[in-house]
Amino acid sequence: MKKVYFITGSQDLYGEEVLLQVAEDSKVIASYLNDRIDGVEIEYCSTVRDEASCVEACARATNDKDCIAVITWMHTFSPAKMWIKGLQFLKKPLLHFHTQANEKLPYDSIDMDFMNLNQTAHGGREYGFIASRLGVKREVIVGYYQHEDVIEKIKKFIDVARAVDFSKNLKVAMFGSNMREVAVTDGDRVESQIKYGWNVNYYGIGDLVALVNAVTEEELDAKMAEYASLYIMNTDNIDAVKEQAKYEIALDKFMQAGGFGAYTDTFQDLHGLRQLPGLATQRMMGKGYGFGAEGDYKTSALGAIFWEMAKGRCGSTGFMEDYTYDFTKGDEVVLGAHMLEVSPDFASTQPKVEVHPLGIGGKEAPARLVFDGVDGDGVAVCMVDMGNRFRLICAKIELVKQPKEMPKLPVARIMWKLKPDHATGAAAWIYAGGAHHTVVSTALTVEDVRLFAKLTDTEIVVIDEHTDLGKLQSELEMLDLLAKLK
Ligand code: MN
């Protein structure tokens, strides 16, 4: 199981008795968090009291591949020069927990001994200064450790820290390259690896075709039976569905053998495949694999990372594309879909398996899952390469039920409204250079994406109910200037 280190800061000046109490309280808090937070072990570490113990604790966290984050708490005052070298060693997401062992002040008994022991209000500021001076990107959470809202904030931090750890180990397979002449799906893959850890490499589609051709009748029968149990077969063209079933089996084998968490393909490079993977890719996304169409490796990687971040939460997460609008005044709505590849994680109706011609790419009519989408609050997020840095753009959106049936639309779709209004939201996205491909999630919030941006030192532009186009354009100019200064 992944671990989060819980490190308490103090100093030697108080004597052994106080340090024993510091250790005792730290164990109680670490153990309380451990009981309340699932999926990760909160590991109590010995109190650090000088530079050497800080360095030892931070270096151990950095070198422990199971450690995804560090929580630090200043129970007492902890002179912060002793933290400099340790924080310089620390390469894991950091949470500065500004809490106390006690919730309330003991008005009747409080004396100077109590004051010296319980001074996070004081020690946390000294420690916070050095973290700011060193430019350490971290989350600060303030409050009594048993309060529900405080626990929720820590859980969210851990979700994002787990996603950062996942990112550092993510392998993305690109079948083919990105779609010819398309700008926004392209990017600096070396820089992606330096900054986010993504190992992104190209594979010939022939490597996948070999696995497709090796699928056995037994494997195929089992996969078709699985489809029949989950979906409505709304086609007579079973042969086309079997073709996609083979792709899914082959993709699963390819991804597992290579340790990949995400992939891309492109309809311009399908040599040896009779169809563009549709149903197959939808199924892969439904299992949590990241996907980016037309060679979009950035959206593919983000999809896998956000899926990891959303684990254990309610909601849907997947690849999306802004496709077309309803411009009805005051009731504008975005119709999001793709040629085929919409994750069944977004389904609000039982998916139907259908086969229709694609009209692009010159291949056979592909099988796909068709369904209506979920509703609820969500985010649409993209990453673009601005040349000298990556930029995340995160829009708060409201997914809505489709107002009418669309009987002739042969793809799955979701619909959403922009904030603060359609014209402002869409213009803001375009000024920011936002892509047509996104990851949409109803499980994640703007705060999660902001924290991911902070912990990975990534520029972020947020579009929400407060967005003002004048201020946004000034902000974008400032961001350009800032990037030049860095
Ligand atoms: Mn596309």
Give me ligand 1 centre to Cα 337, in Å: 9
Q: What distance lies between CA 459 and its chain's CA centroid?
A: 15
Q: Domain limits of the chain?
A: 3-168, 171-485
Query: 3-168: which CATH number, 3.40.50.10940, 3.40.50.300, 3.20.20.80, 3.30.70.1140?
Result: 3.40.50.10940
State which H helix or E strand residue 267 sits in: none
Separate counts of helices (H) and strands (E) for the chain: 15, 19
Residue in the structure block whose two tokens are 């084998």? 253
Give me ligand 1 centre to Cα 324, in Å: 12
Rounded Cα distance, 243 and 255, in Å: 18
Rounded Cα distance, 176 and 353, in Å: 27
State whether residue 180 is helix, strand or coil.
Answer: coil
- Per-residue pLDDT, 360: 76
Give me ligand 1 centre to Cα 335, in Å: 14
With 0-12 / 13-18 / 19 or more C-beta atoms within 10 angstroms meaning exposed / middle / buried, residue 109 is exposed
Rounded Cα distance, 97 and 91, in Å: 18
Give me ligand 1 centre to Cα 478, in Å: 30
Give me ligand 1 centre to Cα 444, in Å: 22
Give me ligand 1 centre to Cα 214, in Å: 29
With 0-12 / 13-18 / 19 or more C-beta atoms within 10 angstroms meaning exposed / middle / buried, residue 143 is middle
Give me ligand 1 centre to Cα 442, in Å: 21
Rounded Cα distance, 192 and 390, in Å: 9
Rounded Cα distance, 371 and 213, in Å: 30
- The sheet that has 290-292: what strands, in order across it? 199-203, 171-175, 262-264, 290-292
Q: CA dist 16 to 22, 46, 76, Å?
A: 10, 14, 13
Give me ligand 1 centre to Cα 243, in Å: 22
What are the residues whose beta carbon lies below 5 Å from ligand 1 (ion)?
Answer: 293, 321
Rounded Cα distance, 230 and 480, in Å: 49
Give me ligand 1 centre to Cα 338, in Å: 6
- Per-residue pLDDT, 361: 75
Rounded Cα distance, 201 and 316, in Å: 28
Give me ligand 1 centre to Cα 80, in Å: 50
DSSP classification of residue 47:
P
For residue 248, what are its two tokens? 């899914």
- Per-residue pLDDT, 223: 98
Give me ligand 1 centre to Cα 295, in Å: 9
Rounded Cα distance, 74 and 127, in Å: 8
Rounded Cα distance, 285 and 379, in Å: 18
Q: How many residues make up the chain in this entry?
A: 486
Count of C-beta atoms within a 10 Å radius of residue 349: 12
Q: How far apart are the first and last CA of the chain?
A: 38
For residue 6, what are its two tokens? 């819980």
Q: Is residue 207 within 8 Å of 232, Cβ to Cβ?
A: no
For residue 97, what are its two tokens? 């927990």
Q: Which residues contact 272 (CB under 8 A, 6 or more apart)?
A: 205, 206, 209, 212
Tens-digit pLDDT string for the chain (486 aa)? 999 999 999 999 988 999 999 999 999 999 999 999 999 999 999 999 999 999 999 999 999 999 999 999 999 999 999 999 999 999 999 999 999 999 999 999 999 999 999 999 999 999 999 999 999 999 999 999 999 999 999 999 999 999 999 999 999 999 999 999 999 999 999 999 999 999 999 999 999 999 999 999 999 999 999 999 999 999 999 999 999 999 999 999 999 999 999 999 999 999 999 999 999 999 999 999 999 999 999 999 999 999 999 999 999 999 999 999 999 999 999 999 999 999 999 999 999 999 999 887 788 999 999 999 999 999 999 999 999 999 999 999 999 999 999 999 999 999 999 999 999 999 999 999 999 999 999 999 999 999 999 999 999 999 999 999 999 999 999 999 999 998
Rounded Cα distance, 51 and 32, in Å: 28
